[in-house]
Structure 1
């Protein structure tokens, strides 16, 4: 009998997936399976998986003929699973030694949901950016009357899908297709109605590879609209709990909009597509002007602000310098002088 299915979704990550598999496969036991859903990769992913299957015949691989998006592929993975529980696994992050055994231990309590903590590292796993994402350590448990407490505690870590271990029957009872295209189908599933029993484990069982997300070019759409929509439309949670996670839409926060612009995530296209037809009030001229501000000078200014605040190895500063199309010689020089050695975009 399979107790736990580790459900990985991948697409064109041949250069990363092997390291992820190396962190998972040695931890498997006969009642834990690993399956990989490949969303029509065009690189050498099938060959990489084939090499691992020769040594681990229990590794199941499903190659899709067409790509149906990350949300649909995770839903397919759960559908292929044989386990009572499914751990939704990214294709480029790493499990800590003993992580599977720790989750398996928590599943003995028969919860509907388990969330685990993770550290955040740079794309090469050379630098620790954030030692933990949860604000607490230890284990917290939630019952039928703890919906708001659960939402507030879970919100931050749920933005990372690899934290999520869900009972398969809980997943299948939810309207998953409603959340396709959000990039956070798991959040839609969890917040569709509060779980009757949940555990949040404040132990860092994973290492996140930061700055490598495939949805990076769409970060404004995702963080300014998809993510808030999932929070605001959650059912069974109070408005106070929702506001604790999302006090206001990010596009109403000038600091966040400056950050989006400096990262190359916001410009004229995003303004026309997402904001031009909204009721913006006094924010309209500001947001319209922000879309036209030259990106490179703003990038230099944003880099200086991170340096002045000593946030050199915060994920925000790392992403700004490494991932923005506006990264330039001057901003990289500032970053190198401040100690951010991996300053090339």
Structure 2
């Protein structure tokens, strides 16, 4: 009902907040992805703020309600294969000018159920950054607040994907065999061959300082190489 009340000719786009739950929906991992205290409106001149505030949330297509005429008026074919065609439609030039964001988490995300979980490293290290950094209407600082241009150069990120079981010698050979920085290449190789259960265990200890540690630990517990610690803590959070 709240969503329907916002749909009118004055709005091109409605974004709905969401909460994140585990695969069987029994546990809340994140109460709100946006953490807005009230609904927000974005109009012409607010493009940068909208991008910074909402771009990461838009990786989940289920939060998007878009006017059909607006959708059809936008370039779409160039975003085929990006996994996030809707993000390309929204942030391409010219930016949308009439946007309403609902701060109440009316959508529940079933985490760990995504069809492309097995391609996570490729998507989040390459496809998502390439898409975000392709938009011409936003500054480099704005884009950097969403993701780095080459996030795989951040050792911690690659280590985390090893801990999740999404990075191995297979990904190293596919993406980094021709890396010219020999030191970085060596480090990426070492991470690829470190026992995954060890990286998983160390990552669990590390993420405890994170505000969203429940989500992070649950994510680590989904790995085929999940450590005893991540599995234990994930079960504890259910109680």
Give the match for residue 140 of structure 1: 40
Measured after TM superposition, the shift of residue 213 of structure 1 is 0.9
Contact 1:117 1:133 in 2 (8 A): yes
Candidates 99, 118, 122, aligned match of 1:198: 99
Contact 1:121 1:128 in 2 (8 A): yes
Candidates 204, 210, 233, aligned match of 1:335: 233
Q: Could you report, residue by residue, the CA deviation over 1:230-270 in whole angstroms, capped at 9, with x for unpaired residues?
A: 11001322222111212452212222111100111011111
Please, what TM-score do these two structures have when normalized by structure 1?
0.64
Contact 1:312 1:339 in 2 (8 A): no
Q: Could you report, residue by residue, the CA deviation over 1:33-53 in whole angstroms, capped at 9, with x for unpaired residues?
A: xxxxxxxxxxxxxxxxxxxxx
Give the match for residue 2 of structure 2: 102
**Structure 1: segments with no counterpart, 5+ residues:** 1-100
- The reply on whether 1:260 has 2:161 as its aligned counterpart is yes
Higher alpha-carbon deviation: 279-288 or 129-138: 279-288
- Which structure: greater strand fraction? 1
Query: Secondary structure, in 3 states, of the residue corresponding to 1:202?
Result: strand
Change (3 A) 1:310 1:242: closer
Measured after TM superposition, the shift of residue 274 of structure 1 is 2.1
Contact 1:122 1:128 in 2 (8 A): yes
Contact 1:312 1:318 in 2 (8 A): no
Instruction: For 1:208-219, list aligned pairs within 5 A.
Output: 208-219=109-120
Candidates 148, 158, 161, aligned match of 2:58: 158
Candidates 177, 182, 194, aligned match of 1:293: 194
Q: Structure 1 CA distance, aligned partners of 2:231 and 2:200?
A: 12
Measured after TM superposition, the shift of residue 135 of structure 1 is 2.9
Candidates 204, 220, 232, aligned match of 2:133: 232
Contact 2:17 2:107 in 1 (8 A): yes
Contact 2:217 2:230 in 1 (8 A): no
Larger Cα-atom Rg:
1
Structural RMSD (CA): 2.2
**Structure 2: segments with no counterpart, 5+ residues:** none
Q: Structure 2 CA distance, aligned partners of 1:310 and 1:243?
A: 20
Q: Structure 2 CA distance, aligned partners of 1:312 and 1:276?
A: 34
Measured after TM superposition, the shift of residue 148 of structure 1 is 0.6
Q: Structure 2 CA distance, aligned partners of 1:128 and 1:263?
A: 20
Give the match for residue 89 of structure 2: 189
Measured after TM superposition, the shift of residue 271 of structure 1 is 1.5
Higher alpha-carbon deviation: 185-194 or 248-257: 248-257
Give the match for residue 131 of structure 1: 31
Contact 2:26 2:238 in 1 (8 A): no
Q: Structure 1 CA distance, aligned partners of 2:84 and 2:138?
A: 18
Change (3 A) 1:109 1:174: closer
Measured after TM superposition, the shift of residue 278 of structure 1 is 4.1
Greater RCO (Cα-Cα under 8 Å, separation 6 or more)? 2
Measured after TM superposition, the shift of residue 174 of structure 1 is 2.1
Give the match for residue 223 of structure 1: 124
Contact 1:138 1:202 in 2 (8 A): yes
